[in-house]
């Protein structure tokens, strides 16, 4: 099942190169849905314990200790669900667009899916790095070929940022490989290394920089608003909905478990940077008139809260981060999709030029408010349980930090609801007077996203149960290492 999961999108990406015209997007959607079915089969047979399941382990470059080793536990299963749920939604959301060379566009999305799934399932550090870079290549071309104004300049900045961070991580991986007794990249061998606090501190920063850029965390965030705004909406959704979760997942799976003593030394710094990012991004979001850019800064604030919850390193914080990765991905894709619908119809993303859209597009308005309610963590929506657990986890670490971090909920509600009021309510104008409501694929996407917002909000236990044992086991392992080193 893992082999099918990893290579079906790659096969589909190559197959799409043989097709041209309008059928390409339908074929891409078919394979994306087939990948979702594979995930469904895996979830149905998954045991919610701390073990790794569906493991494959083949010698790849045996002389260097590199194996193609991949599998899923409760944490990675949630990320696999996120990826395979969002990719068909993202593909379907692009059906109203006309892309030059659609075979390449949809092929790159599916190729990127392979890289993302490699990251979320890799149990070999070299394979993890390969997946990390594999996911970067297609999004670079998606942004550079189909992006907006100044796309080359913005995309090069994004590439340099992320590639430079990856090099730091590669140095850390190579160093740890050389320290393993059997010269292996196996994740368990990395976990079992007994390096002193000094060397773990350097390893912590080698990985932290790479992951902080990808999420992004303040002050490594400067590439994000421009890239999200310039990229085509499908690319923006892949970046914000799934790709940034690579960094969050990397912190949970790799950074803290392999460098627990370095983590203890720099824990407060990491949390403070995360909390600064929450306030900083929220304040900037207040001033943005470009709807897409406002959502981009909102994403930085929400990811800052997720990162702070992880670095608090307790059950509530990490469990909150796991379910919030799923919820944030769904919500941010919904927000960018609504803004894409509006901007395509009136040819602007300037919120100040909108108004009264709800009068002629009630279905869009209702969907938009449901997605916003999930984003601002209204009870019984998907964002509530994640933010509640994250705040609980940060509270256990420091009451003053949680008071500041809590501003993301207040600020987020203010600028999101203000955006809704300016876009949907009030009087229509020359641009919005003839606005038409959603139909066809647009309606299907919005119904799906709204359903996920409500279902996860009402019954989050289905997701929490998947990851609970794995999170508990990982926290216990790290805490034992920290205690034994004292």
Who's near 451: CB < 8 A, 6+ residues apart?
none
How much is the CA Rg of the chain, to the nearest whole Å? 21
| Burial annotation 424-445 (CB, 10 A radius, 16+ → b, else e) | beeebeebbeebeebeebbeeb
The confidence score (pLDDT) of residue 148 equals 77
| pLDDT category of residue 44 using cuts at 50, 70 and 90 | very high
Q: Per-residue pLDDT for 181 more than 70?
A: yes
Report, as an integer, the average pLDDT of 214-221: 85
H/E segment holding residue 13 = helix 2-16
The confidence score (pLDDT) of residue 98 equals 83
The confidence score (pLDDT) of residue 486 equals 67
Spatial separation of the C-alpha atoms in residues 392 and 399, rounded to whole Å: 10
Who's near 210: CB < 8 A, 6+ residues apart?
132, 165, 166, 168, 169, 247, 250
Convert the pLDDT of each residue in 393-413 to its tens digit: 999 998 988 888 887 788 888
| Burial annotation 52-67 (CB, 10 A radius, 16+ → b, else e) | bbbebeeebeeeebbb
Q: Per-residue pLDDT for 53 more than 90?
A: yes
In contact, 215 and 177? CB cutoff 8 Å: no
Give the residue from 264, 191, 175, 173 showing the smallest Cα distance to 485.
264
Convert the pLDDT of each residue in 432-463 to its tens digit: 888 888 888 999 999 999 999 999 999 999 89
Convert the pLDDT of each residue in 276-304 to its tens digit: 999 888 889 888 888 889 999 998 999 99
In contact, 363 and 446? CB cutoff 8 Å: yes
The confidence score (pLDDT) of residue 341 equals 92
| pLDDT category of residue 259 using cuts at 50, 70 and 90 | very high
**What mean pLDDT is reported for the chain?**
91
In the chain, domain spans = 2-485
The confidence score (pLDDT) of residue 100 equals 83
| pLDDT category of residue 250 using cuts at 50, 70 and 90 | very high
């Amino acid at each position: 099942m893992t082999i099918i999961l990893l290579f079906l999108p790659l096969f589909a990406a190559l197959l799409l190169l043989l097709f041209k015209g309008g059928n390409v997007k339908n074929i891409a959607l078919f394979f994306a849905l087939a990948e979702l079915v594979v995930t469904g089969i895996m979830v149905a047979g998954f045991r919610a314990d701390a073990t790794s399941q569906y493991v494959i382990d083949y010698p790849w470059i045996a002389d260097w200790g590199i194996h193609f080793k991949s599998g899923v536990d409760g944490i990675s299963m949630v990320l696999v669900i996120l990826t395979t749920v969002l990719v068909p939604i993202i593909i379907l959301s692009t059906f109203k667009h006309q892309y030059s060379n659609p075979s390449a566009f949809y092929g790159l999305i599916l190729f990127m899916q392979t890289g993302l799934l490699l990251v979320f399932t890799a149990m070999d550090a070299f394979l993890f790095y390969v997946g990390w870079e594999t996911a970067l290549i297609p999004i670079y071309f998606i942004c550079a070929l189909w992006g907006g104004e100044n796309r080359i300049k913005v995309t090069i900045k994004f590439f340099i940022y992320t590639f430079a961070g990856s090099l730091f991580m590669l140095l850390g991986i190579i160093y740890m490989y050389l320290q393993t007794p059997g010269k292996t990249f196996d994740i368990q061998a990395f976990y079992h290394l007994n390096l002193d606090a000094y060397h773990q501190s350097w390893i912590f920063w080698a990985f932290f920089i790479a992951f902080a850029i990808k999420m992004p965390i303040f002050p490594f965030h400067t590439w994000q608003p421009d890239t999200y705004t310039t990229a085509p909406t499908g690319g923006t959704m892949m970046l914000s909905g799934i790709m940034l979760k690579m960094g969050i997942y990397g912190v949970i799976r790799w950074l803290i478990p392999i460098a627990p003593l370095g983590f203890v030394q720099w824990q407060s710094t990491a949390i403070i940077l995360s909390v600064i990012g929450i306030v900083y991004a929220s304040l900037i979001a207040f001033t943005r008139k470009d709807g897409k850019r406002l959502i981009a800064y909102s994403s930085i604030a929400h990811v800052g809260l997720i990162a702070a919850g992880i670095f608090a390193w307790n059950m509530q914080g990490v469990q909150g981060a796991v379910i919030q990765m799923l919820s944030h991905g769904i919500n941010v894709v919904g927000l960018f999709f609504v803004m894409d619908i509006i901007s395509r119809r009136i040819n602007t993303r300037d919120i100040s030029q909108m108004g009264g859209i709800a009068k002629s597009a009630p279905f869009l308005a209702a969907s938009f408010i449901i997605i916003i309610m999930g984003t601002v963590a209204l009870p019984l929506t998907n964002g509530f349980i994640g933010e509640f657990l994250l705040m609980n986890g940060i509270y256990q670490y420091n009451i003053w930090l949680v008071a500041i971090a809590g501003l993301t909920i207040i600020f987020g509600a203010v600028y999101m609801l203000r955006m809704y009021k300016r876009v949907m309510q009030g009087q229509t104008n020359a641009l919005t007077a003839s606005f038409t409501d959603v139909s066809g694929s647009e309606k299907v996407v919005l119904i799906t996203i709204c359903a996920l917002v409500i279902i996860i909000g009402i019954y989050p236990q289905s997701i929490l149960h998947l990851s609970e044992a794995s999170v508990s086991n990982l926290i216990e392992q790290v805490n034992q290492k920290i205690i034994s080193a004292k």
